[in-house]
Amino acid sequence: GDSVTQMEGPVTLSEEAFLTINCTYTATGYPSLFWYVQYPGEGLQLLLKATKADDKGSNKGFEATYRKETTSFHLEKGSVQVSDSAVYFCAPAERSGSEKLVFGKGTKLTVNP
Amino acid sequence: DAGVTQSPTHLIKTRGQQVTLRCSPKSGHDTVSWYQQALGQGPQFIFQYYEEEERQRGNFPDRFSGHQFPNYSSELNVNALLLGDSALYLCASSLYTAGVAFFGQGTRLTVV
């Protein structure tokens, strides 16, 4: 089945720093790719997605590009804020009927003022 | 739009007991998936329901079962609870025809 490897956390940055969280995946098919974010004590929120090669997903200043040749979907943000502190999950979705998400352990981001 | 709602938010059960968790999908969605998230881990897929049938299942024992009702809401049942079943249980809804999954806030289950 599909699997995902995310950059080990935790990641600690100062406000306005540049963020990169690496994500690579293995998949037997052609998955859709997602980034979800989980704030403390909450469920997961969709951050962005891409459904085919070279697609760029973007939302709230975050971006990620679907790189089929390197099976990667790295998350970037040019200037992080304290409010971005959360756990970030990269998830390929197996395409067998409705999409089944495959999550890694996540990357915890802490942004200090 | 209320989004995905789950109940209860927190639950404490004794080892060996049975538990039922509930989920109402986002308006317009027809598919419900359940995930288990242990502390410090990513969510793990339990199973998915569409048209009141289990369509996909992850690597979970038969103690985990579910149901989907005609209004698309769903229940997750866990029998013979173990301490290791303590986790956050997340419900996600979507459209079966390739929709994005939206998650609820989860039910925090503690088995003592």
**How many interface pairs between A and B have CB atoms less than 8 angstroms apart?**
67
Per-residue pLDDT tens over the stretch A24-69: 999 877 888 999 999 988 889 999 999 889 999 999 999 999 999 9
pLDDT of A97 strictly over 60: no
List all residues 6 or more positions away from B87 whose beta carbon is below 8 Å from its beta carbon: B36, B37, B38, B39, B109
pLDDT of A1 strictly over 80: no
As a whole number of angstroms, the distance between CA B87 and CA B108 comes to 6
A72: DSSP letter:
B
Helix (H) or strand (E) holding B96, with range, is none
Question: Cβ of B42 under 8 Å from any chain A Cβ?
Answer: yes
Give the confidence band of A98 by pLDDT, cuts at 50, 70, 90. low
In this predicted structure, what is the pLDDT of residue A95? 66
As a whole number of angstroms, the distance between CA A34 and CA A31 comes to 10
Q: Interior CA angle at A82 toward B44 and A10, to 5°?
A: 45
Nearest by CB to residue A43, choosing from B55, B58, B90, is B90
Looking at CA atoms only, how far is residue A101 from chain B in angstroms? 7
Residues of B in contact with A102 (CB under 8 A): 45
Question: What value does the CA radius of gyration of chain B take, rounded to a whole number of Å?
Answer: 13
In this predicted structure, what is the pLDDT of residue A2? 79
pLDDT of B1 strictly over 70: no
Looking at CA atoms only, how far is residue A106 from chain B in angstroms? 6
Give the confidence band of A86 by pLDDT, cuts at 50, 70, 90. very high
In the predicted model, what is the mean pLDDT of residues B76-95? Answer: 96
Residues of B in contact with A21 (CB under 8 A): none
Nearest by CB to residue A44, choosing from B95, B99, B103, is B103
As a whole number of angstroms, the distance between CA A56 and CA A46 comes to 15
As a whole number of angstroms, the distance between CA B24 and CA A49 comes to 24
Give the confidence band of B98 by pLDDT, cuts at 50, 70, 90. low
Q: Which two tokens stand for residue A92?
A: 């390929």
Question: Cβ of A97 under 8 Å from any chain B Cβ?
Answer: yes
B28: DSSP letter:
T
Per-residue pLDDT tens over the stretch B29-74: 999 999 999 999 999 999 999 999 999 899 999 999 999 999 999 9
Q: Which two tokens stand for residue A22?
A: 């690496």
In this predicted structure, what is the pLDDT of residue A57? 96
- How many other β-carbons are positioned within 10 Å of the β-carbon of residue A2? 17
Checking DSSP bridges between strand A75-77 and strand A23-26, what pairing results, if any?
A: unpaired
